[in-house]
Chain A
Amino acid sequence: MDNSICQVYEDEIQSLEEEIKLLAEKYEESQQESTFFSDEEILMSIKSFQREFQGQSKGHESPSDLKAQLESLETDLSFLMKFTGIQFTSHSKRTVEKTTNRTVRKHRLSGNCHSLSFQLEFQLLEMQNKETVSAVITDLSIIMESGEDSDVSKFVSSTEEHGNLLTFFRSLSSYAEWYEHRRCTFLHFK
């Protein structure tokens, strides 16, 4: 009899621990998503951080670690933007649903590829099943600057209908390169 009471407590402990983990993640993500710091604020923080912790490292990451981490990430990001030609100018996300196996987030993304600018909104559903994480795009909405072009608008609506975010970017990349090439060619002949 005692063993079953123990089991009930142990089950509740496990479920509470999971719930706590989920709530903590929710809280942190919400904080992250609703905060914004400008580039100046970030530069100032880097400087003041280094002053505050001269030589101290209390088991937290030292200021040089955080600074190095940020620099490495920013180098990777700027490399990717340069290499792919896709420059993101803003990105925001909002967690709409979060359970142990399922996370749904709404994303807003804007940027440009060479001279073509775009604005996107989509919902991303991520599901954890056993060892794999699956990702599915829904509710894709695309606004393109050169949206009046009938070819572009046909392409955009077909992409939106099927949630073809990947195809959008790959096509954008090659279209933008061609467009840029054509533009340069015209300018050359002016």
Chain B
Amino acid sequence: GVFTHLEMLEARAHEAAVKQEETEQQEEKLARLKARVQELRLQRDELRAKVDLQQKGQLGKEGVVSDPAQPSARTVLEWKIKSVKAMLQVFYLTGISGKLTKRGVCFCISTAYEGTYLDSYHLDLLTKAEVQIHRHSVPIFIPLEQIAKKYLQTDIRRFLSVLSDHLNAYAGRRYQADQLQGRFSNRIEGTLQRNSLCNLLVFNYNVSSKSKTFPFNARLLYGDLCCSLPTEVTVSCTPDAPASLAEMAAAHSDLFRRVALHKAFCSFSSAEESVD
């Protein structure tokens, strides 16, 4: 009837109104986004020009340049603050850095393997009365207490140095094992077994000789915790393997004692490439 018809018309009008509103909102949104893009493009172009000018100004001017416009006192201070912060960051690269606290010092021991910096460890020391370790992030398998007992009260520098030796050696051992697993996974049979201190490694690896591959087993024990080279190495091949392989195993054993693990494997790869 009439009512149903009216209702239908009303519904349609409502639908149309909603659609109209949606379209308008969409158009508004598009317009806003477009304006924002223009704004950002302008900002970006201005910055680019600024940076280019800066680069040109520095080409051929080796050495220091003072700001031509008279710098404000605030600018000078902010520059100095950044400069001192940068210097403090450089200390991180030296292996021992830190900052003074209300009750003592918070030291940071950084570790590295050759040019690659690895994890760093913190020690919050209280120095008011006797020296105490308030908090630290040294892993539990590092003999921190032992080292502290020996040196902390008498020579903090020595304490940090010895601790740093332990931590750097640990980091170095772990790095070598990680590199082996990561870069030479195709040569490793099964999993590389290691303990948390990374001073005992056991793994099986493949050696090719005359287009045949042979399994070797290696056991590396790092008896000196401040060293990242093993003190005891056992490399064995299967009992039925040819004599030349036994010689190779002995050579590998010697190599692992002298050269970092991942570097030793690098030399295997290049040696094999040149023979086969």
Interface residues of A (CB under 8 A from B): 2, 5-6, 9-10, 12-13, 16-17, 19-20, 23-24, 26-27, 30-32, 34-37, 41-42, 44-46, 48-49, 52, 60, 66-67, 69-70, 73-77, 79-80, 83-84, 86, 88, 91, 93, 107, 109, 124, 134-138, 140, 162-167, 169-170, 173-174
Contact = CB atoms under 8 A, between A and B. Distances in A.
A150 B30 CA distance: 72
Interface in B98-119: 98-100, 105, 110-112, 114-117
B145 interface: no
The 10 closest A-B pairs by CB, nearest first: A163-B115, A49-B73, A169-B94, A137-B115, A9-B33, A45-B76, A45-B73, A16-B40, A36-B64, A23-B47
Of the four ranges (under 10, 10 to 19, 20 to 34, 35 or more), the interface on chain B belongs to 35 or more
B93 A166 contact: yes
B91, B95, B100, B115: which has the most chain A beta carbons within 10 Å? B115
B33 A20 contact: no
A17 B40 contact: yes
A34 B48 CA distance: 18
A166 B110 contact: yes
Nearest to B164: A170
A91 B87 contact: yes
A84 B96 CA distance: 8
B37 A12 contact: yes
Given A27-B51, A170-B95, A16 B79 contact: no
B93 A67 contact: no
Nearest to B105: A79
B117 A136 contact: yes
Given A20-B43, A73-B88, A77-B84, A166 B76 contact: no
Contacts, number: 174
Contacts of B78: 66
A6 B32 CA distance: 10
Contacts of B134: none
Given A27-B51, A170-B161, A174-B161, A37 B88 contact: no
A contact patch SS: helix
Given A23-B44, A166-B93, A31 B85 contact: no
A79 B26 CA distance: 61
Contact of A73 (B55, B73, B84): B84
B86 interface: yes
A84 B87 CA distance: 14
Nearest to B55: A30
Nearest to B33: A9
A80 B98 contact: yes
B82 interface: yes
A74 B84 contact: yes
Contacts of A88: 87, 90
A49 B17 CA distance: 62
Contacts of B88: 73, 76-77, 80
Contact of A140 (B30, B47, B115): B115
B41 interface: yes
Nearest to B97: A80
Nearest to B26: A2
A49 B117 CA distance: 40
B150 interface: no
B74 A49 contact: yes
B40 A73 contact: no
Contact of A30 (B51, B93, B99): B51
A109 B43 CA distance: 36
Given A6-B29, A23-B48, A66 B114 contact: no
B90 A91 contact: yes
Contacts of B44: 16, 19-20, 23
B116 A35 contact: no
A124 B116 CA distance: 10
26 contacts: A9-B34, A9-B37, A13-B40, A16-B41, A20-B40, A27-B47, A32-B82, A32-B83, A35-B67, A35-B79, A37-B66, A45-B73, A66-B74, A69-B81, A73-B88, A77-B88, A79-B98, A79-B100, A83-B96, A84-B157, A88-B90, A124-B93, A138-B115, A164-B112, A164-B115, A166-B94
A114 B100 CA distance: 22
B28 to A, nearest CB: 11
